[in-house]
Each structure stands twice: as C-alpha cells, then as structure tokens.
Amino acid sequence: MTSRRSRRKKTTAPRPEVSPEEHKPLEHTGTDAAEIQSRKIIANCLEPEETRVAIIEDGRLSELYVERMWERQKAGEIYKARVESVLPGIHAAFVNLGDGRNAFLYLNDAGGLDLQPNQEILVQVTKTARKNKGARVTSRISLPGRYAVLVPHGRESGVSKRITDDHERKRLKGIARKLRGEDYGIILRTASEGADEEALAHDVETLLALWRDIEHHEKIQSAPCLLYRDLGLLGRVLRDELTRSVCEIIVDGEEEYANVTGCLSALCPGPLPEVTLYRGTNPLFEFYGIEKEIDAALERKVWLPSGAYLVIDYTEALTVIDVNTGKFVGKTDLRHTVLDTNLEAAGEIARQLRLRAIGGIVVIDFIDMDHSEDREKLLERLEEVFLTDRYRARVFGVSRLGLVEITRKRARPDIRTTLTRSCPFCGGTGMVYREDTISMTIKRFLRKVSGANKSEALLLETNPVVASYIRETYLSLWEEELGRRIFLAAVPDFPWSKYRLDAQGELGQIERRIEQIEKWEAPLVVYRTASS
C-alpha cells in the first residue's frame, strides 16, 4: 500500500501554547459567508479514537470534519478491483474492493472499457458508502496536490473556475499547458492563484512520482487490494482549506502539532499562520464554544439574528428548508420585511449547507414575493453567498410559489449521518446520538474530572446500552490512558445520552459504594474491567 503521508521529525522550536488566561472563546462578528475576513482551523486530535477539525470563519463554525479510526474517509482511495457483475439494464457494474461491500461503477465512468465479470480494473472512490448504499467509484483517476490535480491518461490543462481574474487565469492556463505530459493532464486548483511556476512544477513532479509508484504496485499485487490512501483528516483539511485568510491553526495533540509545523511551509507559500498547541484543562472544542455550535447544527430550527428562523428537514431524496419571519416585524412595510427576511435567510442557508455538509437537491421555501425585482435580488444574493463554497452549488430560479431549487455537490457524509443514528426507542422516526458520540463525550468529561483531582477511581451512571458499549470497546483503554479505575453503573431507564458522576475518591471507598449499589439497588449492574 502506498501513502502520501510521511513521518516527520518533531520540531525543537519553542511551542506557542494556549491557556484559558491567554485566549477567549470565539465570538461571532456578524459577517456573512460572502465577506469572510479571517479563518481559524481548530483540530481536536487528542483522542486516538476520533479526530475532529473545525473551520471557524469570523468567529462562527462554518465547517466540521469528523473521522473515527475505524471509519476512515474512503474518498480518494485507489483500488485494484475485480468486476463482480455487469448490469446493462442500469448501465452499471459492481466491483469488489476487498473491504466487504461491493462498489458501484457507472459504465460511463469505466473509460470505454468493455467490462466482464472477474476482470481486474483500477478504480478510485468518488463517493463514500452511506446508509444502505455502497461506495461509488470511477476508472478516471485523479491525484490532488496542494496546487494541482494530476489526471493520469488525461489530456486536459485546466484552471479552477473559482479563480476569476482573467489575467491570472491566462497565466495559469499557459503554465498548465507546459506542465501537462503526454500521458497525464493537469488541473490547477484555487490555491495555485498567485503561485510561481517553480512551485507548481514541483507539486506536479511530486504527484507524478506518486502515480508511478501506484502503477508499480498495481503490476505486482493481485485484485482486490488497496493501492493508495489519501492523507489523514487534518492533512487533507490543511491541503484543501489552507489559504491566506487562515490566521491561526490550533491543535491539542503534540504529534499533530509537530506534523503541522513540519509541513506548513510546503503547504503555504506566503506568510505562515500561527500554529498553537492548546494545553488547557478544558477540552479544546468546549473551551472555544464549538461543542454548543455542533449541538445547534443538529437542531431542526435555526434562529436568525433578526428573529426570523429556518426549519431544515431531511428526506431520502432531498433536503427541504422553510423560511419564516418568526419574531421579525420589519421597519417599513410588508414588502421590505419579506425581502429583508429572505436575503438574511439566504446567507444563513449557505452557511448551514456547508456546516451540515448537505449535498444533493435542496428545495427552499422562501416567503412569497410579489415583485420580480425582489426575486432577482434574492437570486443575486444566493449566487453571492455560494461563491466561497468549495463544493459547486447551482442555483435555479424562483418559482411562482417562492421555491428555489439548489443542487450542491455531495463530497462527504453529512454531519447528521456522522454524529447520529436512528433512534432505537422510536422506531426510526427521530434521531439520537450514536454510542460512539456519547462515549467520546463521556471520555472528555472523565478527562476533565481526572485533571481536576487525584481520585483513584470514578463511578459513573449511564444508560445500560451505552455502559455495555463502553465496557466492550473502550473501558480498559481509558483506564490505562487516564490512570484511574472507572466503574460504569448501568441504570435501567436512564436517558439515552445522559450520564452522571455518582462518586469519586479512593478505590476502597468506590468499591464499598458499589457493594451497596449491587446489594440494595438490584437489578442494577456495574461494569468494570477484569483488573478491577
């Protein structure tokens, strides 16, 4: 298996550190998506089971990336696959990647190959598996770098559409033609704007060496097998999101801090953003107020500063957003009240689509507007607020009913799918936090408690299903990492995502408390490790 991620030595330079006395939680400045002034990248890497990266724009959470150690993002991975079946009726084939679930390949994405069962083919994952659907793959391979995308066997020499300056586009187009080879194409990314030819050429040379390595492994390995895996979560975010507007990168893990400081100069040709190692006692996301924003991003109702609000509902085929005036009564007349509400809602909708990673078809029920010039203003506003969206969004006209259709590229699972699961108590009509999400919340709480005192043992009450899951998956690891004995009381009928610290102190005291519980509060069960 080939990977672009390399090990880097830890830096010996003095490390900037954050403490609660030095930094304050982020405050919202009121700037919308089209007027971004500053960005911060905050990476919660302390827990080995889960990495979270938040992008903050002008004090507000704009994007959230989550990756768990057993749910690694597959998009971008390259496989030597085996064709399992070809279905002409749907013009597609299913290919075996070797990971248990067959991937879906449109024949139009097969590069003109006449596919047959058991045939070996090189494919790349374009969409990760979600819900009951397998991953989608293509035989058109592309390798992204900082400035360029290498397209093996391609002939294109393109420039990102997000670069709008005509002179710069012409310059980059000329460089792309010079860098393009006989057996590969080149597409220059948005980050290439302002970069010199030497930096672009070096990026292409690196990608070309990587492709030759993948070709070598394809020849010597048998299908199905993984040939290439993209960077880790923080590496991908830095590669794709690190622009001149990023003023600071904050991480809470020493290893990731060393990795970031070691590779930053290669990713950012201009002035380097400040890199800070957070060492506060409160969890990083809690300290910066990000946990509250994550909770809000899962809510159905989104309040706007004026008092108006949005209602966001999900269906299997599309996402529906309803705009309401709510408490907003306006200042002049009904026409301007409606227009002001719709324009304000447009900016927040663009932010919510990015934050919640919503893709596919989005239908927005704006408040009805009788004047055509008002509808034109709304469409112009929508085009404006999506300019900063890295994933292409297309805005269609306003219908007579005030409905607007938007399509947005679906690049990763949405935040609701990542953080929640179907409710086991309501037959799937509602959503609750996944066991993983609750477990990590509990671990952060235990880490916070452990850092505040020297107790030998902790007794925590939680839902029986959650307690059993933690016992089977994490408990022994947590005890070793936190240096505490941890006991989990599985309380019947305890709320699904709630927990409570029942007792803490010396091990003997906690064991006596557990004896009382098991004697007088049967059938309550207390989970513990074998060493306990």
Whether residue 415 lies inside any domain: the answer is: no
Q: Which residue has the tokens 């390399």?
A: 6
Would you give the distance in Å from CA 41 to the centre of its chain?
12
In a domain, 400, yes or no: yes
CATH number at residue 340: 3.30.110
Q: What range does the domain containing 17 cover?
A: 2-61+240-291
Residue 133 maps to a domain: yes
The total number of structural domains in the chain stands at 5
Q: What is the pLDDT along the chain (532 residues), one digit of tens a residue?
A: 343 333 333 333 344 555 544 455 555 544 444 455 689 999 999 998 999 999 999 899 999 999 887 766 577 899 999 999 999 999 999 999 987 778 999 998 988 888 999 999 999 998 877 666 778 899 999 999 888 999 999 888 899 888 888 999 999 999 999 999 888 999 999 888 888 898 899 899 989 999 999 999 999 998 999 999 877 889 889 888 887 889 999 999 898 899 888 888 777 766 889 999 999 999 999 999 999 999 999 999 999 999 999 999 998 889 999 999 888 887 888 888 999 999 999 999 999 999 999 999 999 999 988 888 998 999 999 999 998 888 889 998 887 777 999 999 887 889 998 899 887 766 666 778 899 999 999 999 999 999 998 899 999 999 999 999 999 999 999 999 999 999 999 998 888 889 999 999 999 999 999 988 887 766 788 999 876 5
Which residues have a Cβ under 8 Å from the Cβ of 489 and sit 6 or more positions away? Answer: 459, 460, 461, 462, 467, 502, 514, 517, 524, 525, 526, 527
Q: Which amino acid is at 249?
A: I
Does 321 share its domain with 396?
yes
Residue 234 in domain? no
* Nearest-angstrom CA–CA distance, 49 and 68: 6
Same domain, 435 and 516: yes
Rounded distance between C-alpha atoms, residue 16 and residue 208, angstroms: 36
470 and 489 housed in the same domain: yes
Same domain, 389 and 433: no
9 within domain boundaries: yes
433 and 501 share a domain?
yes
Is 330 domain-assigned? yes
Question: Is 416 part of a structural domain of the chain?
Answer: no
Of 249, 276, 291, the position where a domain reaches its end is 291
